[in-house]
Amino acid sequence: MARMERSAGFVVYRPESDGTRQYLLLDYGRHWDFPKGHVEKGEDDLTAALRELAEETGITQARVVPGFHHEITYFFRDRRKGLVRKTVVFFLGHTAAGDRDIVLSDEHTAFEFLPFAAALKRITYPNARQVLRLAEDKLAEAPGGDALSLPVT
């Protein structure tokens, strides 16, 4: 039987002066993905996602886009844990952070803000590319959409 794990993260974007958006991707050394991590005991998904965003990128202010909540589930095999069934919930967030504001954790080797098409190509896993497509679709529905300012604590 598979061990179950739950993580939470963010698809983070920043608007550019020309009206386009750039998405933040992290280099985990072997793959490119979004900021995310384990939900700790006593945390809800959004709290975990905000904490992980701060820990992995240094972004302490995020504007959460309401109505975006997408889960993916996949299996992987870990040497110590065996078969793991992982569920990751993603939120969509707006940041004004520039490249100089990003402070990576030691889990990552690099980061990039990329326009949608380039981000889609850079992301390693198909399920993460699907999350990015859904985020782009959500933002296209309501350009500059209403976002809630939530400080990371």
Task: Between 131 and 20, name the one with better pLDDT.
Answer: 131
Q: How far apart are CA 88 and CA 137, in angstroms?
A: 19
148 — pLDDT class (breaks 50, 70, 90)? very low
What is the per-residue pLDDT for 130?
98
Model-level pTM?
Answer: 0.89
- CATH code for the domain defined by 3-151: 3.90.79.10
Beta bridge partners of 146: none
Structural domain boundaries in the chain? 3-151
143 — pLDDT class (breaks 50, 70, 90)? low
Tell me phi and psi for residue 30, to 5 degrees: -120, -15
141 — pLDDT class (breaks 50, 70, 90)? confident
- Among the listed residues 65, 71, 114, the one whose alpha carbon sits nearest the alpha carbon of residue 93: 65
